[in-house]
Amino acid sequence: MNLFFSNFDETDNEIIVNENESGHIIKSFRRNIGDLVNFTNGNGLLAYCKIVEKGKRIKVKIEKLSKRKPDKVSIHIAISPLKNPSRFEWFVEKATEIGVKEITPIITKHSEKKKVNHERLERISISSLKQSNQLFKPKINNIEKFSNFLNNNGNQMIMANLKTKNILEKKSISSNQVCLIIGPEGGFSDDEIQEAKNKNITEISLGNNRLRSETAAIFGLSILRSIIN
């Protein structure tokens, strides 16, 4: 199934597609008036549509609409930005494929980069959503400092720490909203680890190997997926 993206809701009868996606549909996929195309809004809706008008912004009529229920356990991941932006973009792409609900870049003591290109990450997430036929796009939050994130996040938090031997198990999950926290390649500072302990955040090991941050994130997400399904 070829899947396209647009902002629409359950009450809409038609969709006016943005110029970029319109060009993609007409030029790359050679669709024409009367052809059927599928759209998602990234919030679980799948619209089966027919092209009714061509132009810089095509118009499609919604013929049928279906809605997918979200996963019983939603996964939020907080991760330190990476020095190499392309590696962080790769992570966002794969996290979208896996089906995370939220991504929050966090600044820690050992973070080598203090900002991300939010608009580019949104585009990458949408592209990955379409490529993998996902109906839920992760919310990509603004960057936050580590301490602020711990104070403001209401999910059950699980932090990867090289200094612990705790293994992530199904019995470790006590909430239907779980946040996995991944630090920079230099690891969390002693103060950050203590701050997490003071908040009773569960610490887990991702093995004995020292992993790149993006590798640790995908590995941790895969473990989470396997134990909650």
pLDDT tens sequence across 74-84:
999 999 999 99
The structure's pTM equals: 0.92
Q: Which of 87-91, 149-153, 160-164, 215-219 has the lowest mean pLDDT?
A: 160-164
Could you give the C-alpha distances from 127 to 16, 57, 85, 93, 182, in angstroms and in order?
19, 19, 17, 8, 24
**Are residues 50 and 84 in contact, defined by beta-carbon separation less than 8 angstroms?**
no
The DSSP code for 11 is T
Whether pLDDT at 143 is above 80: yes
pLDDT tens sequence across 186-197:
889 999 999 999
| Residue 179 DSSP SS3 | strand
Token readout for 203 is 């610490």
pLDDT of residue 51: 97
Chain center to CA of 105: 11
Token readout for 98 is 């896996």
pLDDT tens sequence across 9-31:
999 999 999 999 999 999 999 99
**Are residues 29 and 18 in contact, defined by beta-carbon separation less than 8 angstroms?**
no
**Are residues 25 and 17 in contact, defined by beta-carbon separation less than 8 angstroms?**
yes
Whether pLDDT at 1 is above 80: no
**Which phi and psi (to 5°) does residue 84 adopt?**
-95, 110
